[in-house]
Amino acid sequence: MSDTSLHRTLAPAEVETGLTIFKVRALLVDDQLIIVEAVRRMLSDQPDIEFHYVTDAALAAQTAIQLQPTVILQDLVMPNIDGFGLIKQYRDDDILRHVPVIVLSSKEDPKLKAHSFAVGANDYIVKLPDKLELLARVRYHSNAHISRLQRDQAFRFLRESQKQLADANIELQKLAALDSLTGIANRRHFDDTMRVEWQRAQRDRQPLSLLMCDIDCFKLYNDAYGHLSGDLCLKKAAAVMTGHLKRPADLAARYGGEEFAIVLPDTPLSGALSVAEDCVRHLEQRRIAHVGSPHGVVTMSVGVASIIPTPESSVEALIAMADKALYAAKHGGRNQVCAAPELTD
């Protein structure tokens, strides 16, 4: 590896618009090669992330302008330069002003956090973070920045012609399908997907399964740790669920508040239960402290329902059955999966 920068294209992780293809691109600014290697290892098996680094902080801004990263991972303490001043330098540059900056600090210090946000940082992590958490934050901030780039580009595109106006509207609809907090599908996208998959499953006579997932005792979590921690908890839970989706057609969505839904086309009840159990156990194994939970950590309950759609059945009936199973999981002690009786003709 070079001692100044690394250009490693892990895969063409791309978000396509009518004009340009944007890539998820992370730039790490850190003088310690051991940290660089640790972060590289965390990202190396992720096909949607392109990784770069620079160890000479004096070259950080110039490198960022050349690479156009979607997120900058920024160390605070480096030789001959103030990390806070470097963040200000990004914010004073027209090209880098809106690029998200995640501070990587060796200290869990409220004053450092506050000052980081005051000078323009978007997030703060004590290094080295958990791999899943780092991936979730890199993707979340990158997706937000890509959304901004897409939006700005779409508006320029709109002014060119009526035909381009129609194309840009399609792109804006894609942006409207994402939940702004977690970065996964929102309720509107869920509703649209359910209608499409219901019709397809009815036509093909294939099973359609639905998981309704709820973070246990989440109000108590917010009361104990605050809403910012609550938001981060929801992001981690969303990352857990998306991590267990097996196929492109599978969809995880934020249904509302602390409730999520997972749509699994062409999946029987047994397969849906397997996915649900994996999600429940994985979240528990994250060991996110929760003093208000009887389990001592953040957990979730899941209700599962499956059906081969017919003209006599309905999406609403499937959702109601999954909700009823979720209610049973909640009242059965939480941190578990309950299945509704299989719906048949």
Q: Are 201 and 265 in contact (CB under 8 A)?
A: yes
Answer for the pair 183, 260: CB distance below 8 angstroms, yes or no: no
Tokens representing 327 are 């209610």
Phi and psi dihedrals of 107, rounded to 5? -125, 140
SS3 74: strand
Euclidean distance between CA atoms 125 and 39, whole angstroms: 13
Helix then strand count (H, E) for the chain reads 11, 15
Query: Strand 50-54 vs strand 5-8: parallel, antiparallel, or unpaired?
Result: antiparallel
* DSSP β-bridge partners for residue 96: none
Gap between the terminal Cα atoms of the chain: 61
| Dist. CA 149–CA 44, nearest whole Å | 25
Query: 1: Cβ–Cβ under 8 A, 6 or more apart, which residues?
Result: 33, 36, 37
Active site residues: 258
- In this structure, what is the dihedral angle of CA atoms 58, 63, 66, 67, given to the nearest 10 degrees? -160
What kind and span of H or E run contains 91? helix 83-91
User: Could you tell me whether strands 123-126 and 101-105 are parallel, antiparallel, or unpaired per DSSP bridges?
Assistant: parallel
